[in-house]
Structures are given as C-alpha cells and as structure tokens.
Amino acid sequence: MAKKSYDFLFKLLLIGDSGVGKTCILFRFSDDAFNTTFISTIGIDFKIKTVELGGKKIKLQIWDTAGQERFHTITTSYYRGAMGILLVYDITNSKSFENISKWLRNIDEHASEDVERMLLANKCDMEEKRMVSREKGEQIAREHGIRFYETSAKANVSIEKAFLTLAEDILKKTPCKEQDRKEPVDVNNQFGNRSQCC
Ligand SMILES: Nc1nc2c(ncn2[C@@H]2O[C@H](COP(=O)(O)OP(=O)(O)OP(=O)(O)O)[C@@H](O)[C@H]2O)c(=O)[nH]1
Ligand SMILES: *[C@@H]1O[C@H](CO)[C@@H](O)[C@H](O)[C@H]1NC(C)=O
Ligand SMILES: *[C@@H]1O[C@H](CO)[C@@H](O)[C@H](O)[C@H]1NC(C)=O
Ligand SMILES: *[C@@H]1O[C@H](CO)[C@@H](O)[C@H](O)[C@H]1NC(C)=O
Ligand SMILES: [Mg+2]
C-alpha cells in the first residue's frame, strides 16, 4: 500500500486589491524570493508547499487570485473550496484598506461558513510611505474576530508566520477521521485538550 506523502491537504486563498502584494507574499513563502517587477495576476494561479506542524505533514495548496475587478467572477468561484483565506491590503494605499470591508463581504457571500480568515497589512517595510496605521488594521481585525499581521514580502517580515499560524488554526479544527495513525498527536496548541484534533 503506497503511503501518502502528507497527512492533510489544506486549501488556502489570497485575496485583496490589485498591487497589494499577494503574488509576492506567496512567492516569498514558496520560494523565499522577491521580485520588484509588477506582473499583475491574470485570473488565478497557485503554488504548493508542504509544511510540518505537530508531527503532521500538511500539504498547502495556495491559490493566488487576481485583484482586478474584471476577474471577479473567476476568482470568487474559488472561495467555496478554501479552508483559509488571507485578506491582504497595502499600508501605503488607504483605498486598499478601505476595500477590506468589500473583500470581507465577498467572503460572506462566496466562501464556506467555517472558513478561517486572516488579515495581512503588507509592505510594512515602507514606513515612510505609510497611510494606514497598525492600530486601524488591528481594529478591523478585532471587529471581525480574525488574526492580524503586518507583513513585508520584500523584507521577509511575518510571511512564514502568517501561513503557519493559519494552517495551525485550520489543523486545530480538523477532525481526526482522515488520518490513519493510532497514537494521539500533540498539536501543540494553546488550548491544550480543548482541541478537536487528535
Ligand atoms: N516595498 C514592497 N513592495 C512590495 C511588497 N510586496 C509586493 N510589493 C510590490 O508591489 C507590487 C505588486 O505586487 P504583486 O504581488 O504583484 O501584487 P498582487 O496583489 O499580486 O496584484 P494582482 O495580481 O494584480 O492582484 C510589485 O511591484 C511588488 O514588487 C512588499 O512587501 N514591500
Ligand atoms: C477598491 O474596490 C473598487 C470596487 O471594486 C475598485 O474599483 C478599486 O479599484 C479598488 N481599489 C484599489 C486600490 O484597487
Ligand atoms: C525569511 O524568513 C524565514 C522565516 O523567519 C527564514 O526561515 C528565511 O531564512 C528568511 N529568508 C531570508 C532570505 O532571509
Ligand atoms: C481537559 O482535561 C482535563 C483532564 O482530563 C479535564 O478535566 C477537562 O475537563 C478537559 N478540558 C476540556 C475543556 O475538555
Ligand atoms: Mg498577483
């Protein structure tokens, strides 16, 4: 019997206005690299990365959507299958922050109800051009009960942390059924035995 090379498959999705850095965030996470050239995503793209959490191999299939309005129909068709969604804005672009409420509404309309959400304030390396304070980001995240990180794909700030934390949050609410091991596994979460996961 062939052994699967992973224990869980988690599908994640990146959304947010065009130019906020979604593709760069994913490229930093998957290839640990950064490119200053802006090549706007056409439709949708994805990358795979396998990580290990609490002794479990987790294959992350990460969908990178185009932020441009003209791709709305195609990109929203990917919300349904997502277990985690990263909402991204750019701290140097107020409009991209104001649009977060629009992206949150898109999630309400198109994603599954128990999807795990996370808010990322990207380009935090550009402090001199900042238009959106950290407090404003934290506040909207708090209002919606979701985690918040200021990130930089360029300076490699909190990118890995964000993806791993999101995966961990999904793992915590994943029931045991798709796994074949007998011994319980310490998933190392702050809730101790409150976790539904094995
Ligand atoms: N300074 C800085 N620039 C960044 C950062 N992340 C992305 N950029 C730049 O922002 C521009 C847009 O980045 P992308 O990742 O292509 O943006 P996107 O959100 O994927 O845009 P769409 O695909 O059109 O939705 C590029 O020129 C990047 O080099 C960052 O953390 N810091
Ligand atoms: C914010 O959303 C509106 C409506 O979808 C869009 O026209 C606008 O371009 C967005 N802002 C940015 C900075 O992309
Ligand atoms: C980016 O950050 C991650 C996590 O902290 C680290 O493992 C990696 O080596 C960093 N990459 C570079 C190029 O410094
Ligand atoms: C955690 O385990 C302890 C000891 O087994 C038990 O008394 C307690 O009720 C458990 N807590 C929860 C939230 O399940
Ligand atoms: Mg892109």
Report the C-alpha gap between 25 and 73 in whole angstroms.
23
Token code pair at residue 36:
């200053």
| 18 within ligand 2 shell (Cβ under 6 A) | yes
| 154 within ligand 1 shell (Cβ under 6 A) | yes
Residue 174 pLDDT: 87
Token code pair at residue 95:
């409009």
Between the CA of 196 and the centroid of ligand 4 the distance, in Å, is: 12
Residue 158 pLDDT > 50: yes
Between the CA of 123 and the centroid of ligand 5 the distance, in Å, is: 14
Q: What is the mean pLDDT of residues 57-85?
A: 98
Contacts of 191 (CB under 8 A, 6+ apart): 172
Token code pair at residue 173:
């609410």
Residue 182 pLDDT: 47
